[in-house]
Amino acid sequence: MYTFLLSKIEVGSHLYVNFSDTLHLHGETVIVSTLVVSFLTLFLVLGTRDLKKVPGNFQNLIEVVYDLVKSIAFTQMGPSYYSQFLPFTATIFLFVLGSNLAGALIPWKLIEIPSGELAAPTNDINTTACLALLTSMAYFGAGFKIKGIGYFKRYIKPAPFFLPINIVEDFTKPLSLNFRLFGNVVADELTVTVICSLVPLIIPLPIMMLGLFASSLQALIFATLASAYIGEVIE
Amino acid sequence: MVDSIIAGCSVIAAAIAVGFAGLGPGIGQGNAAGQAVEGIARQPEAEGKIRGTLLLSLAFMESLTIYGLVVALSVLFANPFVGS
């Protein structure tokens, strides 16, 4: 495929691991997301192993995280349903936050791989597409679970002629979630890369801090929107 | 020859996509921030809540710009019109 190369910046080059002609996976995405998932598992298992009445430092940290995800789910879904969907919201939030921070904080450039480079798993559009599709499956599932077949009444809700708009909305929701996360992460990395290629010292630091802030905010937004979509169908 | 014309057009298209995508959200973010400042001036005790909502809505508006950026990036780096 023909690509422009402006000062050696490439978007969308991956380390392909081929299984057959049609089946291949993106090596660096799989490696980094596996690392993120195992780190998160370790963090949560160690943090919740022996819970005490008077929490220590580590348990305090875990409780802050729990309060945060609980407040996201609680404000979007209301007091009676939030506990059922809290695991989903928490998983999405922690995974997106973990992978964004992994891309921003760890100096992956030091590790050379044959093609592409190790970076946040969310800068691969397949990861974000998967997360977005999981969100749509979650809200379909939530609607069917809570409302049964009456879920379909939602499509003709304000008036019957809203039907096409409501159907299109089901497709635009995951699409916008997908592009929002992907675009933000790629935009952060691209800005840092471009500025680094112009001025490699000091100057990129504020931009990197901004990127760190924006990527945590994106995790919050993704989780908030996912719970808002679920809350919308079950209300 | 055709490829270079497509390349030139793609660069211009990317510039237009990002530029116009920045226009609307810029106005929207300005409005939102102005209203938030007004709200804080009227009710300083609600500052924390207003700031949280403001950041969230600013990020939503910013995502519209990001859509333009995604279009620009795909035109620049993964152009579907350039022959293989």
pLDDT in tens, B12-23: 999 999 999 999
Average pLDDT of chain B, as a whole number: 86
Q: Rounded to two decimals, what is the model's pTM? A: 0.84
- HSE toward the beta carbon, residue A29, CA cutoff 13 A: 18
Would you place residue B41 in the very low, low, confident or very high pLDDT band (cuts 50, 70, 90)? very high
What would the pLDDT profile of A88-134 be if each residue is shown by its tens digit? 999 999 999 999 998 888 887 787 777 777 888 888 888 899 999 99
Q: Is residue B56 part of a domain?
A: yes
Please name the member of B3, B59, B66 whose beta carbon is closest to the beta carbon of A187. Answer: B66
Q: Is residue B30 part of a domain?
A: yes
Would you place residue A155 in the very low, low, confident or very high pLDDT band (cuts 50, 70, 90)? confident
Which comes out higher in pLDDT, residue A232 or B27? B27
Q: Is residue B39 part of a domain?
A: yes
State the Cα–Cα distance between residues A80 and A221, nearest whole angstrom: 22
In this prediction, residues A149-172 reach a mean pLDDT of 85
What would the pLDDT profile of A177-222 be if each residue is shown by its tens digit? 898 898 888 888 888 888 888 888 888 889 888 889 888 888 998 9
Query: What backbone torsions phi and psi does residue A74 show, to the nearest 5 degrees?
Result: -65, -45
State which residues form the domain around B7.
2-76
What would the pLDDT profile of A32-53 be if each residue is shown by its tens digit? 899 999 999 999 998 888 888 8
* Residue A72 CB-density burial (10 A; 0-12 exposed, 13-18 middle, 19+ buried): buried
State the Cα–Cα distance between residues A179 and A192, nearest whole angstrom: 20
In this prediction, residues B59-67 reach a mean pLDDT of 85
Q: Taking CB atoms and an 8 Å limit, are A221 and B76 in contact across chains? A: no
Q: Do the Cβ atoms of B25 and B58 come closer than 8 Å?
A: no
Q: Is residue B81 part of a domain?
A: no
* Residue A10 CB-density burial (10 A; 0-12 exposed, 13-18 middle, 19+ buried): middle
Q: Is residue B83 part of a domain?
A: no
Shortest distance between the Cα of B83 and any Cα of chain A, in A, equals 7
Test mutation, A221, A224, A225, chain B, max B CBs within 10 A: A221
* Residue A87 CB-density burial (10 A; 0-12 exposed, 13-18 middle, 19+ buried): exposed
The domain segmentation of chain A, as residue ranges, is: 16-234
Q: Taking CB atoms and an 8 Å limit, are A187 and B60 in contact across chains? A: no
Please name the member of A10, A179, A180 whose beta carbon is closest to the beta carbon of B77. Answer: A10
Q: What is the sign of the dihedral through the CA atoms of A115, A117, A123 and A126? A: positive
Q: Tell me, what's the pLDDT at A146?
A: 86
In this prediction, residues A226-230 reach a mean pLDDT of 89
From chain A, pick out residues whose CB is under 8 angstroms from the CB of B78: 1, 3, 11-12
pLDDT for A5 beyond 60 = no
Chain A: residue nearest B18 by CA?
Answer: A187
B71 in contact with A, Cβ within 8 Å: no
Q: What is the sign of the dihedral through the CA atoms of A23, A28, A31 and A34? A: negative
pLDDT for A1 beyond 50 = no
Would you place residue A10 in the very low, low, confident or very high pLDDT band (cuts 50, 70, 90)? low
In Å, how far from its chain's centre is CA A205?
24
Shortest distance between the Cα of A205 and any Cα of chain B, in A, equals 21
Q: Tell me, what's the pLDDT at A187?
A: 85
Which comes out higher in pLDDT, residue A144 or A12? A144
Q: Tell me, what's the pLDDT at A11?
A: 67
Q: Tell me, what's the pLDDT at B42?
A: 93
Query: What backbone torsions phi and psi does residue A51 show, to the nearest 5 degrees?
Result: -85, 135
Average pLDDT of chain A, as a whole number: 85
pLDDT for A6 beyond 70 = no
Would you place residue B80 in the very low, low, confident or very high pLDDT band (cuts 50, 70, 90)? confident
Q: Taking CB atoms and an 8 Å limit, are B83 and A221 in contact across chains? A: no
Q: How far is CA A152 from CA A17, A232, A233, in A?
A: 42, 13, 10
Of all residues in chain B, the percent with pLDDT exceeding 70 is 96
pLDDT for B68 beyond 70 = yes
The enclosing domain of B70 has a CATH number of 1.20.20.10
Q: Per the structure, how many domains does chain B have?
A: 1
In this prediction, residues A131-146 reach a mean pLDDT of 90
Q: Is residue B84 part of a domain?
A: no
